[in-house]
Structure 1
Amino acid sequence: MNKWYPFKTGEAVSISRFYTFFIKDYPKGYVFKGESHNFWECLYVMDGTLSVSADERVYELNRGNIIFHKPMELHKFTVTGDGGARLLIFSYAMTGTLYDYFCNKVFMLNDEQTGILNNTLSFMQEKSKDITCGERLRFFNKLLYPDVDSDIYLLRVTYYIYQFFLSLADDGYVEKRLKTPETELLKSAITFMNENLSKNPGVEDIAKHCSVSLSGIKRIFLKYTGLSVHKYFIKLKCNEALRLLSEGATVTQVTELLGFCTQSYFSSAFKREMGKNPSEYRRK
């Protein structure tokens, strides 16, 4: 009697939805002031050079580099190359055993990986079309609207991306973050903030911890994050609040845990940063 031995494949990557998928040219000096959101984003440099900040890390990206921004990561970029930059940006919801692997990663693509992305874009550009809706939606999602059945089309796009991600996991060259006196100060400051989310250190306290002047710490944050020191700290607090709420903490508990002076102040700050009231994010 034959014996059959199953080989479980597992689910290394699972993409349930895309949010954006577009290519755009940016001029030299262009500054994307930064954002964070609860889904993944990839930025691939098709041509040019740019400086990218991702939480406390700073990178100099060149043609062939791709950076993965994990959910709720604060990210910003500045185009530094003389000829500007052409970027492919796509965002998506992802789960799977490789979730943690892609956190805090920047890769330099090899020929195989570049070929997979080129094939993906060729397929999407062949099948996609303009749609009759607002200019913003048309710009950000043009490649997500095909001439053919959208379910089949998006599934094929998804499998192209699976192939790309698996190639990176199997044979990806990981780039190191940029280390300069300024970027090390930024890292130290943000680490200090994350360690003191339950407290309310002032800008002076953060500058003192980093052994830098008040004007120096303000300049570094504006340069690499596009935000004031205080604004960045509030964003960190709200990101942590979102995590606590999703795990079942009450609004009152989060207010106390994160050192907000009143529940009203916490709720207004959270809504300003996240777009919704904290009670709407709380796990039922």
Structure 2
Amino acid sequence: MFNTYSKLIINQKFEFKLGKYSVICKIVDYCTFNLDQLSNNIHSHSCYELCFILKGKGIFTYNDVDYPIAAQDIILTDPYAYHAITCTNYDELFLLYVFIDIKCPDNSVPISSLEDSILEQFLKQHQCIHSKSSKIFTYLDFINNYSLYCSKFDYGLLQITKTLLMESFQYLTTSRTQSLSSNIPFTTLEKAQDYIDSNLHKKIYIEDIAKHCSISIRSLQYVFRKNLNTSIIEYINEHKIKLACHYLLNHFSIADTANLVGMPDISHFNKVFKKVTGFTPSQLQKIGTSNNGFGRRL
């Protein structure tokens, strides 16, 4: 997926408020582990460290426990927790790491938004690793593509980076997996979701998802209806349109956006878009312009 890497987001530090929370974020740098530097050795930080594994395989040591890691994993270390990353084979282990500080200056302020609620749940309980986070890496892929059209870290990059962080918090929140039905193995649903997230740029066939998950189409449909209360087609369309919104709000044409999400038929794209969002692609572009760009969460 990653053939080029945006340098515009490196060393960017920004702060944003979500209800009672203040989030300070610094995107530090890309980092490579190989035969010349196998590990960064055991260390700790005074803030959260979030890492996106872009390429390769390795071991994430966290509080004396070793976790295997690979491309499209995200890993998190808590403040002052001892950790290390080690390359385990001849391939380079390539990652992007971010420092995050979350403050709550006023506990009396109630939760006021979805993002506020996500942070609340994240701080209560979260995992240190989430494997095969294909959807998260779609945002990084978008950042790389978007960077081709700008020369500096602008409002659009800021907003998509904030969305990347919020989605990562949500993925790492332990309750996300606990909310799924125990009657169907989580791995089946996760495999299907990862396949869909990795193929949003093209037409997705249900039979291909079923084959990827090694189950029948009927069983796959049951998994989605039982656990997510939605059909597979509705799930695919919702995620394609969510990605389309990011493109449209960053000045991509409707035709280009339709192609980028695997819906080259403009008429069909407009129909699905209206069904999912309640308005047309052109109406969203006008909303984005009136809100000075990419600030609306859909």
Whether TM-score is above 0.5 comes out as: no
Taking structure 1 as the reference length, the TM-score comes to 0.42
Larger Rg: 1
Taking structure 2 as the reference length, the TM-score comes to 0.41
Q: Which has the higher contact order (CA 8 A, sep 6+)?
A: 1
